[in-house]
A and B are shown apart, each in its own frame.
Chain A
Amino acid sequence: MSLEQFLQYVLSGVTNGSIYAMAAIGFNIVYNTTGIINFAQGEFAMLGGMTAISLSAFLPLPLAIALSVFLVSLVGALVDFAFIRRLGKPTVLNMIIMTIGLSIAIREVALHIWDEKVRSLPYFTGTEVSSINIFGAYISPQVLWVLGISGIIVAGLALFFRYTLTGRAMRACASNITAARLCGINTRNMVTVSFMLAAAIGALAGCIVSPITQTQYDCGTPLAIKGFTVAILGGLGNSAGAVAGGIVIGLLEAFSISVLPLAYKDAVAITVLLIILFVRPAGLFGKKEAARLKEF
């Protein structure tokens, strides 16, 4: 394999990996505050892309994206108010089924709002044919946007959780919800905030990747599955692990193309994940206790 080819695969892997990591981070945010895996996370990305595309018909692109992210975060809040809060004492399985139901419902509603056609946002800079040469590997300028914005999101989240009051309150909920309540933190609102945040991140991810991967009413589910895979790989609840896991899976998939028939590409990442899980049941960086606690 030549250096150019190698570099090409690396770039492709890292790009896809960042998108998976974004989805995984969305999962982790909600999981940390509530213990729920929100299978509708992929739908947030799809809604973000679709809404932005509709809005961009009469708004300048940055405004369309910003508004779309805002609207989808409202959808996240709505999901919490209308459904999550109505759960009584749910078992983990109840929550999984509920969010799966939500995911299906959102997807089908999107189908009836937007129909089945494939769309995409315009490229942020350049066009469909622009190409940047990096040491012999060629990428679209959109790839730089994806990497850049993902990096900013990850860094921004780290700062948010460390230095802002809301972020610290959310971490408190994740750590010990009863203690958090006793400290006067409104845990109910923290749950809503975490849904809104996860939805916003998902929507933004959906927007930045739309020019490259295109958006369709059912593009949320495969993304959610990949995101879940990465979240588990990195250890549920561990966002740094999610980033690492995303890059690992992205690179694995990209390089597997060069050795295996492409048909099995998706199976490769999962096989590796399963092997890792058998050795480390809590994921690469997950806590052992976390893996044991969650029961059905």
Chain B
Amino acid sequence: MSLKKVIITLLCGLVMPFAFSCKKTGGDAIKVGAILSQTGPASFLGAPEAKTLQMMADEINSNGGIDGKAIDLIIKDSAGDPEKAISFAKQLIEEEKVFAILGPSTSGESMKIKGICEEAKTILISCAAAEVIVNPVARYVFKTPQNDRLAAERIYDVMKKKGISRIGVVSSNDGFGLAGKEQLEKLAPSKGITIAISEVYDKKATDLTGVLTKLKARGVQAVINWSIVPAQSIVAKNMKQLNMNIPLFQSHGFGNIKYVTEAGAAAEGIIFPASRLLIAESLPEDNPQKAVLVKYKQDYESKFNEDVSTFGGHAYDAMLILTEAVKKAGADSEKVREAIESIKGLAGTGGVFNFSAEDHNGLDINAFEMLTVKGGKFVKYEQ
């Protein structure tokens, strides 16, 4: 390389840091960052979450913001890659100087940035389900999805009432599936349930007849599937195709009517715990969540022309919690953190939130409603 070229390259490189303009905060805006998996393997989580957050930010801003301050929402697409999540977290915290981060969509990513946010004293409200995100508790880290343990408990309670004691468990090999499997196995003995066989399959598996054949051979009375799309629908279909006419229980990952449509007639009778968002219209009028749920459902479905899902709901809750706390305490992370911990009785999509210094999730077992599929629709499960 000639000297001239070298000097030119050096000069270009030096100019770069000065050339990129820093995004100017419009006066007094509240900067909120979001790291979501809009594309990639977790896109069915991140895409509705991103849409929800954007919708909410727009609505808040068009209503004058919070105490007159607009929300400046910066969404980063991590594509489900924990590496990118780490890089974006650092970017959002150090460059954009956000005072809170919503998301990420997956547990793996959340765990990787938990430490970073805690050290930087930036509030993190995760939309991922793993219990380890809030246990052990980190002062600045919260999460909105319900705990897996509670979902497992509800499932087992229903099983006990149905007289089922010997089951098979299939779960996917991602963070969600593994966390669920762990909870199921931990709780089973105390609920009098025997897990005769427990298998983990690849989350991208397209054919689960092999695994289900193994379960069938063990003569189990019911099957619990703990996974997300597409396996949820595939398990349902494969079971029927294998002529397994035993009850199928799913996790709260079954949170979108599309999965029912996918599984078609095979979805009839699936029992699973979920947030009441999926049966919003049929709730009694005095249900504390009904107003919030119906509004979110209508807004989302009319704006984006697609069915609402519980995953978008987690993002809704995150933004709701954040804005409630900011309304109380102003845009200071330490005060907002305390304000979140003092939130009680806040009706969100996932349930009614009651935070405390030890409980950074805020939802208990009543956040779940047991639902089933009847006539291709979600209805409340009556036992």
Direct contact, A vs B (beta carbon within 8 Å): yes
CB contact between B204 and one of A120, A138, A222 (< 8 Å): that residue: A222
CA distance A74 to B210 in the complex (A): 37
Q: Is B115 an interface residue (CB 8 A)?
A: no
- Please tell me if the beta carbons of B210 and A128 are within 8 angstroms of each other in the complex: no
CA distance A257 to B230 in the complex (A): 20
A interface size (C-beta, 8 A): 41
Measured CB to CB, the closest approach of chain B to A263, in angstroms, equals 5
- Please tell me if the beta carbons of B207 and A213 are within 8 angstroms of each other in the complex: yes
Question: 1/0 per position for B260-274, CB-CB distance to A under 8 A?
Answer: 001111110000000
Which residues of the other chain, A, contact B173 by a CB distance below 8 angstroms?
Answer: 263
Q: Is A133 an interface residue (CB 8 A)?
A: yes
CB contact between A138 and one of B229, B234, B243, B258 (< 8 Å): that residue: B243
Q: Is B279 an interface residue (CB 8 A)?
A: no
- Please tell me if the beta carbons of A129 and B265 are within 8 angstroms of each other in the complex: yes
- Please tell me if the beta carbons of A262 and B206 are within 8 angstroms of each other in the complex: no
B interface size (C-beta, 8 A): 37
CA distance A122 to B130 in the complex (A): 35
CB contact between B213 and one of A5, A15, A16, A128 (< 8 Å): that residue: A5
Q: Which of B88-96, B194-202, B331-339, B363-371 contacts A (4 or more CB under 8 A)?
A: B194-202
CA distance A133 to B241 in the complex (A): 9
Q: Is B41 an interface residue (CB 8 A)?
A: yes
CA distance A10 to B199 in the complex (A): 20
Q: Is A111 an interface residue (CB 8 A)?
A: yes
- Please tell me if the beta carbons of B264 and A15 are within 8 angstroms of each other in the complex: no
Which residues of the other chain, A, contact B143 by a CB distance below 8 angstroms?
Answer: none
- Please tell me if the beta carbons of B202 and A266 are within 8 angstroms of each other in the complex: yes
CA distance A213 to B230 in the complex (A): 9
CA distance A12 to B263 in the complex (A): 19
CA distance A263 to B237 in the complex (A): 21
Q: Is B379 an interface residue (CB 8 A)?
A: no
Measured CB to CB, the closest approach of chain A to B177, in angstroms, equals 11
- Please tell me if the beta carbons of A262 and B213 are within 8 angstroms of each other in the complex: no
- Please tell me if the beta carbons of B241 and A9 are within 8 angstroms of each other in the complex: no
Closest B residue to A142 by beta carbon equals B241
Question: 1/0 per position for A230-246, CB-CB distance to B under 8 A?
Answer: 00000000000000000
- Please tell me if the beta carbons of B240 and A131 are within 8 angstroms of each other in the complex: yes
Measured CB to CB, the closest approach of chain B to A208, in angstroms, equals 13
Q: Is B211 an interface residue (CB 8 A)?
A: yes
Closest B residue to A8 by beta carbon equals B213
Which residues of the other chain, B, contact A129 by a CB distance below 8 angstroms?
Answer: 237, 240-241, 264-266
* A149-187 contacts to B (CB < 8 Å): none
7 A-B interface contacts by CB (under 8 A): A116-B43, A116-B47, A118-B229, A139-B241, A212-B237, A214-B234, A265-B202
Query: Residues on A close to B: CB < 8 A?
Result: 2, 5, 8-9, 12, 15-16, 108, 111, 115-120, 127-131, 133, 138-140, 209, 212-214, 216, 218-219, 222, 253-254, 257-258, 261-263, 265-266
**8 closest Cβ pairs, A-B complex:** A213-B206, A116-B43, A128-B264, A129-B240, A140-B241, A128-B266, A257-B210, A138-B243
